[in-house]
Amino acid sequence: MRPNSGAGRRYLALGASGIVALSLAACGGDDPETPGTGETEGGGTATGELVFAGSAEPVVIDGAWVSDGESIRVIRQIFEGLVTTEAGGTDIQPALATEWTTTDDGLEWTFSLQDGVTFHDDTPFNAEAVCFNFDRWYNFEGPIAQSASSSYYYQTVFGGFAENDAAYAESLGESLYESCEATDDTTAVITLTRPSSTFLTALSLPAFSIASPTALEEFGADDVGGDGEAPTFDGTYGYEHPTGTGPYAFTEWERGVRVVLTANADYWGENQPSVETLIFVAIADGPARRTALETGEIDGYDLVDPADATALEDAGFTLLQRPAFNVGYIGFNSSIPPLDNPDVRKAVAYAVNKENLLSTKYPEGAQVATQFQPPELFGWSDSVEEYAYDPAMAEQLLADSGVANPTIEFWYPTDVSRPYMPDPEGNFELIKADLEAVGFTVNSQSAPWNPDYLAANQAGTQQMYLLGWTGDFGDPDNFIGTFFQTQQAQWGFNEPEIFDALDAAEAETDEDTRVGLYAEINQMIMEFVPGVPYVHTQPAIAFRAGIDGYEPSPVNNEDFALVTVTE
Amino acid sequence: MSLSEAEARVDTAVAAEDVGGSLLKEAWRRLRRDPVAITGGAMVALFVLVAVIGPWIAPYGPSDRAGAVTPTMIPGPSSQFWFGLDDLGRDELSRVILGARQSLLVGVVSLVLGMIGGLTLGVLAGALGGWVDSLIMRIIDIVLAVPGLLFAIGVAATLGRSLQSVMIAIAVVNVPIFARLLRGQMLSQREADYVSAATSVGLRRRVVVFRHILPNSISPVIVQGTLTLATAIIDAAGLAFLGLGGTDPSVPEWGRMLADSQDYLSGAIHLAIFPGLAIVFAALGFTLFGERLREALDPKYRR
């Protein structure tokens, strides 16, 4: 998942509005009539309501335009894709497609579709609807729709559009997607321009969920405005009429207050929703989320502060942990001296006491990272150079490097807490102390996370920085491919050997061969030391007692239809 | 600088000693007998002492790892660590001690800057009168209409995150206070008989202002300075609390320590208590001392 969620820009405003939302939601919950209203509306058996708090509002409820977790959480309930990930894992399972086959050259994919499914607006789901959606993404045009701030996931997976805008001539290439044909109502054939090992896995992303063609057209889903940096969505689709096939249907979005979803009584799938009304609110402040849970204003929340974990469990709340599917790292811009010197980079790697950092600042379950991808994912190598804490070695390397008075500008973000970095300032202070102990001079630099910090990072002006990544789907390409497949300003290095190896591994379609290729690449990367990965964490979610069935997912594919509520 | 201006400065210094001498002596005599003033003075002295010799008496360095902590287990006060450990395993006592210097530095520098600005404007307004006075005072009224801390936040945020911008922000807030105080004093002195006498014997206005009016107007400014130090320390802590302190988080600042403690209130309340007490201690010392100094210098309180 991309770290720069557009939602963060409204971070402060939402803090206050989230509180308002809570008081409103709480009033609703106390109303004895609420559970009854559901039964009169549809034939479903779902009852009751559940209020869940994230840290920000969705940006827009349309998978094609978002890359942040808060939008995706809501989108996952309303929409489905052709395939999905298993509950609690990363294996690919059928969703709207029941089965699929591919030709030997890997270019033609035939998807058999679920029969008898309708969208929430009663538009039938069929092969034409599937092709409509693929053609929609492929034909996004103009500098706003094609900017990385809007159609990010489409670009990372498909690489280009029907007509690439001149503004992105450098970054966009030939599209992986060529065409889609509805051979009959329940068969869609998708043709690619080249084989891709990540195509099917990537289709589990909410960015590629299938939306009702009727609603997309009627409510102007493709009307974008603003600019490439900060796109705006001018149609009402993503705010008032998101229409999918999922277990929950969109009811209303009181902007700045809450998003309300209602159980889809005609849901086709196996997991019928048992909670009638699902309400998402935004509470930006971590301690405020905890207080809201403790006072009963919400039923659960995401991004539990590690410091609160024990207290919440002792008080009878349920704490669930997502499998570690992220990495927190110290990034280097290897083009800025003295970090252009491999000995200096390795000195940093040896100087940082990762075990101490993890035990001090992370909840139980956090693992020391040795490379830029979690061990759960294939391609992880057990024979990379590990740079275990060794200050003497760091001092030796610094002496050998010939750099006198090594001085580093070290950046950390403020106003943010990420799963891989609950307290960036704390991490910063510990790492800084470690570096100073072996003879570095560290200049402290900080900036608010969004947009200043991330913008400076992408522009490559930060010499050394704290950052991390949460995986979107179960493929190493989504980790090391994202970081190192091309020359990027924030890393600042140009190592064609690494770039080419990653290109080859992505194009390879044999799974077993890929495992070996990625393991080798991980070793190459850690030999170069473009940064110091130090942690994989298990982010926690909290619920009040009586909420059951929630299945934490490494890729945040969490289905509220599985959740049951008892008072 | 012309020769006469230089002379005037030397004269001013001499005059201040002459005229203020007996007054200060009298004030000092009364302060020594006042237990509240002595308490306040002792608190101020201790604060300044700790700020100066802090690095030598702190058991640990500001970034030293003194013991092991986890997010849910941060040891409180013990015989080994009197104030407990902080969230990164550092000695809280050492950080509170080392934070004193930062507070004193910000307090004193912002006070001095504020005084210089305020006195300049106040003297200009009070001595020149007329449209200069009106212009300066209207601007000052406008600035005073904005709540002090809010104004300081605005200034500090505009200047960017650094210790210097905090000092400037607090100084800017103090400028109008001193300017108005001094101008008021000078206006009341201007009508005094001795001023008329000095003017009537043909002394130039500059000489009258610097040699006679200013020295007689300055004592409330000294009192205000002491009291302002207290608010400057609180303001500095407030700005640091709001994330507008220095850029290096490993330099201990009481306000920032207080802000960082928020995430650990349930498990490690000592992280909020000790920096909080330190701020209270320093501010209270200056307030007690300043209030009693005001009374000692004010003829109305003479017993």
What are the pLDDT digits (tens) for A246-281? 999 999 999 989 999 999 999 999 889 999 999 999
Residues in chain B closer than 8 A to A415 (CB atoms): 243
Contact A286 B263 (CB under 8 A): yes
**Cβ neighbours of A395 (radius 10 Å):** 16
Which pLDDT band, with edges at 50, 70 and 90, does A451 fall under?
confident
Residue of B nearest to A360 (CA): B70
Contact A307 B68 (CB under 8 A): no
Residue of B nearest to A428 (CA): B249
Q: What pTM did the predictor assign?
A: 0.80
Among A287, A415, A429, whose Cβ lies nearest the Cβ of B262? A287
Measure B108 CA to nearest chain A CA, in Å: 25
**Who has greater pLDDT, A449 or A346?**
A346
Measure B269 CA to nearest chain A CA, in Å: 13
Q: What is the pLDDT of residue B275?
A: 94
> Residues 323-362, chain A: which have Cβ within 8 Å of B?
356, 359-362
Chosen from B60, B65, B88, B90 to mutate, greatest number of chain A CBs within 10 A: B88
CA distance A134 to A144: 19
Residue A434 shares a structural domain with residue A484: yes
Q: Give residue A368's Cα distance to chain centre.
A: 21
CA distances for B58 relative to A112, B44, B62, B82, angstroms: 72, 19, 9, 12
Residue A34: inside a domain, yes or no? yes
Q: What is the identity of the amino acid at A282?
A: A
- Which tokens go with B80? 């080994």
Closest CA to A81 of A175, A190, A8, A162: A190
Residue A75 shares a structural domain with residue A141: yes
B3-301 to CATH, choices 1.10.3720.10, 3.30.870.10, 3.50.50.60, 3.30.70.260: 1.10.3720.10
Which pLDDT band, with edges at 50, 70 and 90, does A184 fall under?
very high
Chosen from B95, B241, B248 to mutate, greatest number of chain A CBs within 10 A: B248
Residues in chain A closer than 8 A to B88 (CB atoms): 360-361, 426, 429-430
Closest CA to B186 of B136, B253, B256: B136
Chains A & B: contacts with CB separation below 8 Å: 70
Measure A357 CA to nearest chain B CA, in Å: 9
- Which tokens go with A174? 């030939």
Contact A360 B87 (CB under 8 A): yes
CA distance A487 to A503: 13
CA distance A310 to A315: 9
Residue A411 shares a structural domain with residue A514: yes
Using DSSP's 3-state secondary structure scheme, residue A104 falls into: coil
Residues in chain A closer than 8 A to B63 (CB atoms): 429, 432-433, 436
Residue A463: inside a domain, yes or no? yes
Residue A458: inside a domain, yes or no? yes
> Residues 156-175, chain B: which have Cβ within 8 Å of A?
161
Residue A292 shares a structural domain with residue A347: no
Closest CA to A114 of A188, A200, A201: A188
Contact A360 B68 (CB under 8 A): yes
Q: What is the pLDDT of residue A278?
A: 96
Least confident of A30-44, A49-63, A224-238, A534-548: A30-44
Measure B163 CA to nearest chain A CA, in Å: 13
* CB burial of residue A116 (10 Å; 0-12, 13-18, 19+): exposed
CB A180 within 8 A of CB A162: no
CATH for A398: 3.10.105.10
Residues in chain B closer than 8 A to A360 (CB atoms): 68-71, 87-89
Answer yes or no: is pLDDT of A123 > 60.
yes
Closest CA to A17 of A258, A304, A214, A346: A258
Residues in chain B closer than 8 A to A286 (CB atoms): 263
Q: What is the pLDDT of residue B17?
A: 45
> Residues 96-135, chain B: which have Cβ within 8 Å of A?
none
Token pair 């335009």: residue: A65
Contact A309 B263 (CB under 8 A): no
Residue A343 shares a structural domain with residue A289: no
CB A220 within 8 A of CB A213: no
CA distance A303 to B91: 29
Residue A235 shares a structural domain with residue A381: no
Chain A interface includes B68 (CB < 8 A): yes
Residue A547 shares a structural domain with residue A487: no
Using the CB atoms, write b or e for B261-276: b if 16+ within 10 Å.
Answer: bebbeebbebbbbbbb
CATH for A125: 3.40.190.10
CA distances for A211 relative to A63, A140, B202, angstroms: 9, 16, 93
Measure B251 CA to nearest chain A CA, in Å: 10
Using DSSP's 3-state secondary structure scheme, residue A85 falls into: strand
Residues in chain B closer than 8 A to A429 (CB atoms): 63, 88, 249-250
Residues in chain B closer than 8 A to A446 (CB atoms): 161, 247, 249
Looking at A265-390, list the stretches that DSSP marks H as alpha helix, in order from N- to C-terminal side: 286-294, 309-314, 342-351, 354-361
Residue A315: inside a domain, yes or no? no
Residue A561 shares a structural domain with residue A488: no
Q: What is the mean pLDDT of residues A186-213?
A: 93
Contact A360 B247 (CB under 8 A): no
Q: What is the identity of the amino acid at A145?
A: A
Among A359, A426, A446, whose Cβ lies nearest the Cβ of B247? A446
Split chain B (303 residues) into runs of 10 and give each run's mean pLDDT. 45 46 74 90 95 93 88 88 91 94 91 92 85 91 88 88 89 91 85 84 83 80 88 89 82 89 85 94 92 79 56
> Residues 206-265, chain B: which have Cβ within 8 Å of A?
243, 247-250, 260, 262-265
Q: What is the pLDDT of residue B220?
A: 83
**Who has greater pLDDT, A434 or B200?**
A434
Q: What is the mean pLDDT of residues A30-51?
A: 56
Number of domains in chain A: 2
Write out the residue range of the structural domain in which residue A63 sits. 3-306+541-565
Chosen from A11, A290, A310 to mutate, greatest number of chain B CBs within 10 A: A310
ipTM: 0.79
> Residues 297-316, chain A: which have Cβ within 8 Å of B?
305-311
CA distance A405 to A441: 7
Residue A462 shares a structural domain with residue A524: yes
Residue A240 shares a structural domain with residue A339: no
Please state the length of chain B: 303
**Cβ neighbours of B218 (radius 10 Å):** 16
pLDDT over 70 percentage in chain A: 92
Q: What is the pLDDT of residue B298?
A: 72
Answer yes or no: is pLDDT of A69 > 70.
yes
Q: What is the pLDDT of residue A454?
A: 84
Q: What is the pLDDT of residue B58?
A: 92
Closest CA to A195 of A104, A81, A83, A82: A104
Q: HSE, CB side, 13 Å, CA atoms: give it for residue A390.
A: 12
Chain B interface includes A286 (CB < 8 A): yes
Chain A interface includes B69 (CB < 8 A): yes
Residue A250 shares a structural domain with residue A383: no
Among B63, B72, B247, whose Cβ lies nearest the Cβ of A445? B247
Answer yes or no: is pLDDT of A45 > 70.
yes
Average pLDDT, chain A: 87
Express each pLDDT in A71-108 by its tens digit.
Answer: 999 999 999 999 999 988 888 999 999 999 999 888 99
β-bridge mates for residue A466, sequence order: A330
DSSP type of residue A196: -
CB A51 within 8 A of CB A25: yes
Contact B72 A446 (CB under 8 A): no
CA distance B301 to B26: 12
Residue A501: inside a domain, yes or no? yes
Residue A513 shares a structural domain with residue A546: no
Among B69, B161, B249, whose Cβ lies nearest the Cβ of A360? B69
Q: Extract long-range pairs of A544-550: CB within 8 Å, 24+ residues apart.
A: A544/A293, A544/A296, A544/A299, A544/A300, A544/A317, A544/A318, A545/A316, A545/A317, A545/A318, A547/A50, A547/A299, A547/A300, A547/A318, A550/A300, A550/A320
Contact A287 B249 (CB under 8 A): no
